[in-house]
Structures are given as C-alpha cells and as structure tokens.
Structure 1
Amino acid sequence: MSDIAERARKALGKKATYGPDVDLEEYEVEAKPHDEVQSIEEVPEEVRRAALGVGVSLEDEVGGAYIQMDQTPVVASSSTEGIEVLDIATALKKYDGLKDYWWKLVPVDQDKYTADVALHPPAGYFLRARRGAKTIFPLKSCLYLGQTNLNQRVHNIIIAEEGSELHVITGCTTPSHVQRGLHLGVSEFFIKKGAHVSFTMIHNWGREVEVRPRTAIYMEGGATLSNNYICLTPAKTLQTYPKAILDGPGAVASFNTVLYAKEGHLDTGSEVVLRAPGCSADSITRAVSVGGEIITRGKMVGEVPDVKAHLECVGLILSEKGRIDSIPELDGRCGGLDMSHEAAVGKISEQELEYLMARGLTKDQATGVIVRGFLDVEIKGLPESLRDELRRIMQLQELHGGA
C-alpha cells in the first residue's frame, strides 16, 4: 500500500486530460456518519425515494443490494447463491488487500481525482460472481450524496469469474435539498473467460454537483460486457472516459450512452482496445442538448487483425444555447481490421412535430414524445425485465425542448 500512497501524493496536483478542473479544497472532507441497517426495509425513506428516481427500486426483488449514504455503507447483502456483495473496506480485510485487483486497472496517479480517492479511507462496493454463478434478479446499488458540499469518494471492484453472469444497476443521486457537492468514483471490472456482465449506471445529481468517475475494464476470451450510462438531469460538470481492454479471443464490449442536458457541462466517452482476434466492440451515444454543453468522445484501438469496432454518436440540439461536440477516433495498428464511425448533429423534424400536434399534442408534448423515442437506444445484452425498467425511467423524466 505504501507505493500506492506515494504515487497518489505525487499526483495530487495533476489535472485531468479532459473536463474542467475542480478545486478539491472547495469541498468538505469529513462526512457525517450514518448507522448501518439490518435490512433493505430499514433504509431511510428519503434514500428510498432518491434511489427510485435512478431506477433502484428497493421494493422489487433484487439479487443483492449495496446502499451507501455519503461515506457510510448502510446495506451490503446478497440473496443469490454464488454472488458476493460487500463494502470495499470489508473486502480488503477479508481478501488480504485484494492484491490482484486493487488499483490494478485504474492508475492511482491518473489524475488528482484518483489520487484523492486513494489517500482517504476506502468506501464503495465489492461485487463478485463466483465461477458459473448467475443473477436472476439484478444487483442494485445506490450511492447517495446527502450532505451538502461533501466530497464523496468511492472505489468499486467488480469480478465476474469464468462462466458467470452478473447484472448490475447502479444509481447515483442527491436529494432535492442538496445542490452542491463532488463525487469521485473509481471502478475496476475484471470479466473472466466466458463471463457476461451488464452494468447500467444512472445519474441524477443536483445542479451544482461535479462528477468525476474513473473506470477501467479488463476482459478475457469470450467475455461480454454491456455498459450503459444514462444522465437525464443536470449536473454542473461531468467528465468520464472509461477504458476497456479486450485481451482474449472473441471478447465483446458494448457501450451505450444516453445524455439529456438542460444546462451544465457533460464530457463523456469511452476507449476500447481490441487485442485479440475475433474481438468486437461498439459505442453508441444519443445526446440531446436543451442549453447544456455536451462533448462525446470515442476511441477504438485495433491492435490485431480480425477485429470489428464501430463508433456512433447522434445528437439533437433543441435550443440556441445548446452545444454538442462529437469527437470519434479510430486507431488501426495493423491490416485486416473492420473499424468505422458515424456522427451526426441536427434538430427535430418540423414534419414530425406538425404530425403529432395535428393529433392534439402541444408543441412541448410532441417534442417530449420525439425526444424519448430518439433516446430509446436498443441496448444489447440486457434481460427484457431490465429493458422495461429503463424505459420506465425514461417515461418519468420531463423531456422537452428549449426556448
């Protein structure tokens, strides 16, 4: 651990490659403690309501649950055989520091945000699917930032062992009275041979919350990943750029991003490195700006022949103040590759609006119908029950055009 701490200290002043810089000293370090609860039923009502807004219904059957309030894990439980859910501090003690996994994918000195997470007591979740284990009901986690102006730090480890199947929904949220805060999240995924992981992250932050997730994924042969990110409510600034390494034959990764920005600055993207024959990856983004600034980045790196990769970003601008900047990048390093990208930014068709308005909808209602349809991306690798749940979340949002 001493080497990790030393590298982190040296990086405390290191700005991130992308996104506006955040002054860490503006945010509080000390979080108020919360009591652990014995069951999901005892989770405070305000947390349950906030979790429901990001798709984490604690009333439905779940395969396991992790709830964190500020820096305190209050629930960590599994109801599925072969699936382990622990808070990360407990996992580090139980598994001798998680030597094969802890800070192995995300560099601790990547930037000031990873360094800051490393230099404070660990919080976050440890999810593990043992060999051949499969989740029937999804694991659900809620990272709840309830203290105004707090710097919430999270470090998550997800391990899907050979032949396992893991479905996870993570909701990150603040209650209505918390508008300002900082969320730093480090997540490291290890998806082993033939394992399948679907991971859906839904953000619902206050208007003055700044968000800096740092994610890396390592995939072995035959592994599959469906990584889905949804942000439909404003944050002050968001910057995330997960990286996946496909290091075994036939590994498949799919990134799906849905963004709706009334205001704020969202800088999102992903990088996928294809290192083995038969690997494939796609990254699809749907972005709507109603006044916010959206930057979408995508990079595919083909290192060997016989790999396929596709980038796609389509955006709608519904306000004179809106901005969408799409930056696709293909990096082919040998022959025998199949790599492509597609990008488009436009506006809603007047014909579509007129058609719906002629059938009795107001302009805002018609715009909302069109925007929901536009953002309803077909997400690969999800059970139908999860697809239905994501559609329900979309229907709860008030999506409409700007002035």
Structure 2
Amino acid sequence: IGSIGAHTFLQCESLRILDLSDNKIKFLPPKPFQLNSKLKNLNLAFNEIEEIQLEHFIGLETLRTLSFSNNPIKGIEPFAFLPLSKSLRSLKFNSCNLTRIPLAITQCCLLESLEINDNRLYEADSMPPEILALIAEIKNLEFERNPLMKFPDGLFLFPAGNEATLSNILDTLIQLPVWRKEPCTPFMWNIHLSNSSSNLRRKVAIWDKNRMRRENLKHCEFLYERIIENLSLYRELAENSGCEANRRLRRVRESCRKNQKENRKQHSNSSKSKSQKPAISPSGVVVIEKPIENVPTLEFEEAAAEIEHDYVLASSLLANIIFTVVFVSLIVYIISIRIISGISKNNDRNEFEEIRGIQ
C-alpha cells in the first residue's frame, strides 16, 4: 500500500484492530479515521511516514495502542496526540531517528508504556525534564540502544514508588555510554536511591560513598544536590498540568460514584426493611414513608461528569500551551545569557590583548 485516502475506512465503523505495517505509506491524509471511534489498536510500523499531525487522530476516541516504529519521523506537532488524551495507553517510536522525546506525548494523560528504543537520543536535552516530569508515573519506559552521552537530569523525577520503571531505567543506563562517560552518574544514582527498596539499592550498591571518595569524586554529591534543587520547578509544573488536574478530577469522580452506589444500596436495603414492617407511631398510627422522588440517575451523573471532563480537557490544552510558551521563553533566556556572556568574554580578551600590545 502506497497511500490511504480520507475515505478509505469510512465504511469500517466497527473496526477494532487495524494493521497497516510493512507498507510504503508516506503520509496520512486529513481525518483518515474520523468514523473509526471503536478502533483500539493502530499499527503503522515499517512505513515511510515523516510527519505526524493532530488531524490524523480525530475520531480515535478509544484508541489504546499506537505504533509508529521504523518510520523516518521528521516532525511531530506539539498537540498531535490531544485527540487520544483520554484513551491511549501504549505508544511505540522505536527506530524512528528521533533525537528528542516528542513533546506531544505529554498530551496522553493515561499513557502507561512508551518505547523509544534504537533512536538517536544523544544529549541530555534528548530527554528534557519538562517532558519527563509529565510522564513520571508511567509504568514502562524503554530507551535501549541509544547513544546517550550526557545524563538527563529529569530521570530523577520518577518517584521511588514507581519501582518497576526505575528498575528498567537503571538496567538501561548501565548499558549506555553515559554510565561510563560521566563518572558521577552511578554515584548520583546511589545517593538518589538510598531510601528506596532493597532491589533498587542493590543495583547501584558498588558505587557507594566510600568508592566515590577513593576515586576523588566527592563533588558528585554536591552536583546531585544542585540537580535535585533545580528539578523542583519541573515538579511544580507537573503538579499544575492539565493531566494532573484531569487525574484529580477522575479520582474525585470515582470516589463520588462509589459513595453514591453505597448510599443507593443502603437506601434500597432500608426501603426493603421498612416495606416489610411498617413503622407504627406511639399513637398506633401506621407510618408509611414514601421514597424520595426526582433522584438523579447514574446516567445523568455520568453525563455531568463527561461535561466536567471535557472542561478539564480544554483546561489541559490551555495549561499545556502556557507551559510551552514558558519553556520556549526559558530557552531564549538561557541562550541570550550565553550570548551576552560570550560577548563579554570576547571584549575582555580584546582589552587584554590591547594592553599587552601597548606594553
């Protein structure tokens, strides 16, 4: 298959699994799956797709698994996966020539597994902390066989409670160049995991503080403290993100539904017991209690919850736009500081050379 059209799958409304792998598809048309709302699994691996856009996923309201592995990806829109924010659980970008984790994945609030093996993640910025902070609760993160030379500080944002992911991160890092090229990396992990489970501590036990001192790397402890201090900003951003607000709303909604069901059950049991034996007042009058009318049904409550969810989704989009603007401004600020610093150094050097010439 060399291409697909916007009309190709219009008659396949009941489609659940779609495997388009091992073809020669170079681009996706606008809204190719707009009527495939029941699609759960979409496999686009081993094609020639270069661009990923938001309009490619409109209509995929229940998609859970998506694979773009082995495509020469060149561009991914920042909000490309927004239509999948309420459903996507697994995303694969193996062997896609990526030099950076896509910002778009932060739209996937329910993402559980991300695979970015065999790419070109080289620098620390290949795994930015502002992105890792928003996926720190993910259950599976794979980035094996990447030529990572600089340690991504954001990996320290994964909580100690997320043991499976941390274990996988450590197993991967130990095999990558960064573990040898940056001598502080293993020692910082030893410090970072000092209060975690015995399984995690065992993985970095040989890089303890005694060895750190023997190898004249005492500065690694100071470096770790500085990194953790700098990461506090990204934790705050994650706590105020649209996805986190969505999670809080979902937890509250689930708790409310649970309480409502329990209250209905208790009310039902109470009604049954009362119907079996009517209450009698002290004067001998039989008291019949009528059930409360116009109680909102569960369907009505679910509809209201969906309205709230859509509102939070819009808030999520706005929050992420603000986050992107702040991040770009931060980058511009850092670059400006470096340019000004470089100009200042050049001026000082020129003045020094002029003084030497006069002497």
Q: TM-score, normalised by structure 1?
A: 0.32
Query: Which structure: greater helix fraction?
Result: 2
Query: Which structure: greater strand fraction?
Result: 1
Bigger Rg, which one: 2
